[in-house]
Amino acid sequence: MIGLGTVSCLRYPDLVTMPEARALYDVALIRLALHLVLVAAFVLGMVSIVLRQNKVLGFIALACVLLAAVLGGSHAQDQLQHHSDVYLGLDYFLLNLVFMGLVFVPIERVLGKREQPIFRAEWREDLLYFLVASLLVQALTYLSLAPALTILHHTDWAGLRQMVGSQPVLVQFVEIMFLTDLVQYGMHRSFHRLPFLWNFHAVHHSAKTMDWLASSRMHFVEIVCLRGITVIPMYVLGFSQPALYAYLLFVYLLSAFVHSNLRINFGFLERLLVSPRYHHWHHAIEKEAIDVNFAVHFPVLDWLFGTYYLPADGRWPGGYGLADNPVPAGFLKQFVYPFFRKRTAVEVAGTSTESQGGAV
Ligand SMILES: [Zn+2]
Ligand SMILES: [Zn+2]
């Protein structure tokens, strides 16, 4: 599928690749890698058909290779005559998947906290979230930056921005971490407290298995709200580009990391910086872990606002997800769920609280 996706990128670059990235690609190298991927996919597909009782996966692989070959394989050429301003980030998805898979799959195999297969329950749903968020990178970036750009447009804080942007990059990096975490904390807690917002965030909490891929399960509306608000301090206060890019790369890896299935013991560092165990408790099924650990960088924020929870004995949660499983399975059902969710009898009676719907 990665090979077929890459062929599509070579045939329709204007439609399915990011304009900023196009100039950076070494196309000759990509064609060579693509050729190897297609040959490997063909061989592995054949081996799968011979060895496995279930032949479906093997035939899907062969069908993908065949289609990729028909479309030109590693020699595929640009078929578009017209320039397009709208694009899908298929290249972004493929690079994301290969990079994250290469980083996280091996370390989760070696250092996994729980015994769970790579293709665990609901992996298709989570991969679809990953695919859709990557494909819609243009729309997401536009919507996420809109509030910050509006504020920038209506303010004139040149002095302040000059001062902030001229600090050492490391200082700026820590400042961005702290400010975004503070804003994120408020937003995240609102998502838990306000019933309407909770319906969107419940989708993220409906994951019953935690690994790097579970971090992508997030409703489109939540992604836009969360990114829209967290980028405000980053862009409005004038942080320099190196600090911004370093932080964006860091937070990209961190969100997968804190969801990942890793048993690494961070000792006292766990109290200073958010670790997988810390965020896993945010997703825990246990009653004592309802509405705790909202921070994504500094646990001190939860400690200050009274929502800190990290058992000193190094325990991990017994399970993940939501009591009563209110969120349906499947990407599309989860997309419409917040808009059409029926209120429960308890909420109608007006007794809904921060732990609305049994948020755990
Ligand atoms: Zn949450
Ligand atoms: Zn999470």
- What pLDDT was estimated at residue 23? 87
* 265 Cα: distance to centroid of ligand 1 (angstroms): 23
What are the tens digits of pLDDT across the range 243-262? 999 999 999 999 999 999 99
Band the pLDDT of 347: cuts 50, 70, 90. low
* 191 Cα: distance to centroid of ligand 1 (angstroms): 7
- What pLDDT was estimated at residue 350? 44
* 281 Cα: distance to centroid of ligand 2 (angstroms): 9
SS3 of 284, please? strand
- What pLDDT was estimated at residue 352? 42
- What pLDDT was estimated at residue 38? 96
The answer to whether the CB of 109 falls within 8 A of the CB of 120 is no
| 344 compared with 288, residue with greater pLDDT | 288
SS3 of 16, please? helix
Cα–Cα distance, 342 to 336 (Å, whole number): 12
- What pLDDT was estimated at residue 356? 45
- What pLDDT was estimated at residue 330? 92
Judged by its nearest atom, the ligand closest to the C-alpha of residue 197 is 1
- What pLDDT was estimated at residue 156? 87
* 160 Cα: distance to centroid of ligand 1 (angstroms): 33
* 153 Cα: distance to centroid of ligand 2 (angstroms): 33
Band the pLDDT of 100: cuts 50, 70, 90. very high
Statement: residue 263 has pLDDT above 90: no
- What pLDDT was estimated at residue 354? 47
Q: Classify residue 74 by its DSSP letter.
A: G
* 219 Cα: distance to centroid of ligand 2 (angstroms): 12
Cα–Cα distance, 105 to 116 (Å, whole number): 11
Q: Which of 93, 76, 83 is nearest to 21 (CA)?
A: 93
Q: Which of 284, 304, 308 is nearest to 294 (CA)?
A: 308
* 169 Cα: distance to centroid of ligand 1 (angstroms): 30
* Mean pLDDT, range 171-190, rounded to an integer: 97
Single pTM value for the model = 0.88
* 282 Cα: distance to centroid of ligand 1 (angstroms): 6
Judged by its nearest atom, the ligand closest to the C-alpha of residue 292 is 1
* 283 Cα: distance to centroid of ligand 2 (angstroms): 6
What are the tens digits of pLDDT across the range 155-179? 989 999 999 999 999 999 999 999 9
* 198 Cα: distance to centroid of ligand 1 (angstroms): 9
| 326 compared with 174, residue with greater pLDDT | 174
* 237 Cα: distance to centroid of ligand 2 (angstroms): 27
Statement: residue 296 has pLDDT above 60: yes
Mean pLDDT over all residues of the chain?
91
Statement: residue 3 has pLDDT above 70: yes
* 217 Cα: distance to centroid of ligand 2 (angstroms): 9
* 291 Cα: distance to centroid of ligand 2 (angstroms): 12
Q: Report the half-sphere exposure of 33 (CA within 13 A, side-chain side).
A: 15
* 60 Cα: distance to centroid of ligand 1 (angstroms): 37
Q: Which of 219, 244, 211, 217 is nearest to 230 (CA)?
A: 244
Orientation of helix 241-259 relative to helix 169-193, angle to 10°: 50
- What pLDDT was estimated at residue 52? 93
The answer to whether the CB of 2 falls within 8 A of the CB of 37 is yes
* Mean pLDDT, range 330-353, rounded to an integer: 70
Residue 332: CB atoms within 10 A of its CB come to 9
* 352 Cα: distance to centroid of ligand 2 (angstroms): 22
What are the tens digits of pLDDT across the range 304-313? 999 999 998 8
* 311 Cα: distance to centroid of ligand 2 (angstroms): 18
